[in-house]
Structure 1
Amino acid sequence: MGKTLGVFLAVFLLLVASVDFASAKRLGGGGSIGNRQSFSQTTRPDMGAPSGSFGSQQAAPRQAPLGAPGAGGGMFSRPGLGGMLGGLLVGGLVGSMLFGGGHAVGGGGPGLLDMLLIGGGLYLLYRFIRSRRTASQGPSMARTYEAAPVPPVREPLREAAANGWANLGAAPPAGSSAPAGPQVPAGFDVDDFLTGAKTLFGRLQKSWSARDLADIAAFSTPTFMEDVRKQAAADPNPTPTDVLLVDARLLEVRTQGTTTIASAYFDTLLREDPKAGQPEQVREVWHFVRRSDVTGDTWRLDAIQQLDA
């Protein structure tokens, strides 16, 4: 009995060691955070087609030649699975040498097949728990695409980000008209707002990767920062989030008292896991607020809303 328990624990440790539990997360952790009073049920973009020019950047996955890195290799080519099976095989061989190999003969202890069965059961249990956890977070809206060559994302300076919002209250040039879309207040420059929003999206992801909370706070509301600090405490190890493509469109502009709320829908390609070979499509709604009773107030991020929230 003692030997069986020891083998069970050994295989379990090999399984845990071979599976990467680390889960790199972007700003917001893939959930809805911030001031939920900024959420609106009307901010539901049409998911039937990609937004803006982003769809032209989507590339169908190409088949790798046989023998090339990443070529189809069945179940052993899946990330993490080959390492798990390899670990079980090594553990099985060690156990076989220790306990006489094969099934227990004459009560000599468990053998290779017993250990593989135990390890397989543990792995199935892990996958079941992991799938239940994923299902509890709501249906995933993400799809993966091949990483096409794209220009590097530039790091915007603080002044550039600030200037991106500085002209939002300026009147549009004579003869110009707002693009078709939601109703906006007089003098609201949609193009300038979206330029600033996309700039801020890339900047805050970079600041979050470095856990530069002071920089995030400079462009966010206190309510939003409260949730960001909680996320940082729960996930203290910075991991880079690469922003490959960002497209945005304005969903709505509304007023609550002296606060103006502008909601932007982001359709992006991100690589949250440095080990991942392909980026992930991420769609979120960011809500920005500005006080009309404060002279010179700028737009600040108040909430991040997932589309299934």
Structure 2
Amino acid sequence: MKKFVASMLFAASALSASALPGMASAQQAPAAAAPATAPASELPPTVYIGGAVMLFGLAGFFGFRIIRRRDAAAKPAPAPVSAKPAMPPGVDTGALLRQAKATFIRMQKTWDKADANDLRQFTTPQVYAELQPQMQAPGASVTEVVAIESELLGVETVGDSYRATVRFSGQIRTAPGAAPEALAEVWNMSKPVKGGGDWKLAGIGQLS
């Protein structure tokens, strides 16, 4: 845009400079002796240069606008963001988030104690089979949940179970007296559609 404006100013100044001498001579000459129109070949070179610069500036400007419009049309419109995720009927979101937060805190204590029996109580069989072999000796780690917040990202029905996605954020301390560390995790929680029961941990993902 700056190059286009500069080109327009340059062209205007060139045209003005070429026109001023002609205007002065016309004022001094008698009215009866009007000068004949000069042929195009005798026009000053600055007129041609200014006109060419103006044409190039206009071509570049409109070409830029066409490319912008074409690129904007090629990009898909962003999908609308729902204020609240859709919930299957019968799902108590408040109870779900409260249990998810309690399960998160319980998980830290269970892991520090290496309590495999307790781990089995709030995890699915698949998650238990994956996590239990990774447990270390009791007391090998000490985790303190300094602050924890939970956000429900969505709930869907998968087969005969509900699958909820919960994002956790907050701070934890991994050693006595250590500085708190930021945490960001996404947990999957599952629960049978029929028969009631508690939500169980079905997967853990780290957020960078």
Shorter chain as denominator, the TM-score bin is: 0.5 to 0.7
- Corresponding position: 1:273 with 2:175: yes
One-letter amino acid of the structure 2 residue matched with residue 202 of structure 1: I
User: Aligned ranges for residues 124-135 of structure 1 at < 5 Å?
Assistant: none
Give the secondary structure class of the aligned counterpart of 2:175: coil
- Corresponding position: 1:263 with 2:165: yes
More helix by share: 2
Q: Is the 8 A contact 2:110 2:118 kept in 1?
A: yes
Structure number with bigger Rg? 2
From 126, 144, 148, the counterpart of 1:246? 148
Cα drift, residue 224 of structure 1:
0.5
Q: Distance in 2 between matches of 1:228 and 1:210?
A: 14
Cα drift, residue 193 of structure 1:
1.1
Cα drift, residue 275 of structure 1:
5.1
Alpha-carbon deviations, 1:183-224, whole Å to 9, x = none?
Answer: 111232212211111111111111111111111110111111
Cα drift, residue 298 of structure 1:
2.4
Q: Distance in 2 between matches of 1:245 and 1:264?
A: 16
From 186, 191, 198, the counterpart of 2:101? 198
Give the secondary structure class of the aligned counterpart of 1:260: strand
Q: Is the 8 A contact 2:189 2:202 kept in 1?
A: yes
Give the secondary structure class of the aligned counterpart of 1:244: strand
Partner of 1:298: 198
One-letter amino acid of the structure 2 residue matched with residue 203 of structure 1: R
From 288, 293, 300, the counterpart of 2:189? 288
Alpha-carbon deviations, 1:68-117, whole Å to 9, x = none?
Answer: xxxxxxxxxxxxxxxxxxxxxxxxxxxxxxxxxxxxxxxxxxxxxxxxxx
Give the secondary structure class of the aligned counterpart of 1:239: coil
Give the secondary structure class of the aligned counterpart of 1:193: helix
Q: Distance in 1 between matches of 2:95 and 2:158?
A: 22
Q: Is the 8 A contact 2:146 2:171 kept in 1?
A: yes
TM-score normalised by L of structure 2 = 0.56
Number of positions where the alignment pairs a residue of Structure 1 with one of Structure 2: 126
User: Aligned ranges for residues 77-88 of structure 1 at < 5 Å?
Assistant: none
One-letter amino acid of the structure 1 residue matched with residue 205 of structure 2: Q
Partner of 1:307: 207
Give the secondary structure class of the aligned counterpart of 2:101: helix
Partner of 1:213: 116
TM-score normalised by L of structure 1 = 0.39
Q: Distance in 2 between matches of 1:292 and 1:188?
A: 9
- Corresponding position: 1:189 with 2:92: yes
Cα drift, residue 256 of structure 1:
1.6
Q: Distance in 2 between matches of 1:187 and 1:296?
A: 10
Q: Distance in 2 between matches of 1:298 and 1:273?
A: 31
Give the secondary structure class of the aligned counterpart of 2:96: helix
One-letter amino acid of the structure 2 residue matched with residue 287 of structure 1: N
Give the secondary structure class of the aligned counterpart of 1:198: helix
C-alpha distance 296-191 of structure 1, shift in aligned 2 (>3 A): closer
From 222, 237, 251, the counterpart of 2:125? 222
Q: Is the 8 A contact 2:96 2:199 kept in 1?
A: no
Q: Distance in 2 between matches of 1:305 and 1:275?
A: 27
Cα drift, residue 182 of structure 1:
0.7
Cα drift, residue 225 of structure 1:
0.7
Structure 1 alignment gaps of length 5 or more: 1-179
User: Aligned ranges for residues 101-180 of structure 1 at < 5 Å?
Assistant: 180=83
Cα drift, residue 270 of structure 1:
0.3
More relative contact order, 1 or 2 (CA 8 Å, 6+ apart): 1
Alpha-carbon deviations, 1:271-306, whole Å to 9, x = none?
Answer: 113352x1001000010111225x233211011011
Q: Distance in 1 between matches of 2:105 and 2:202?
A: 16
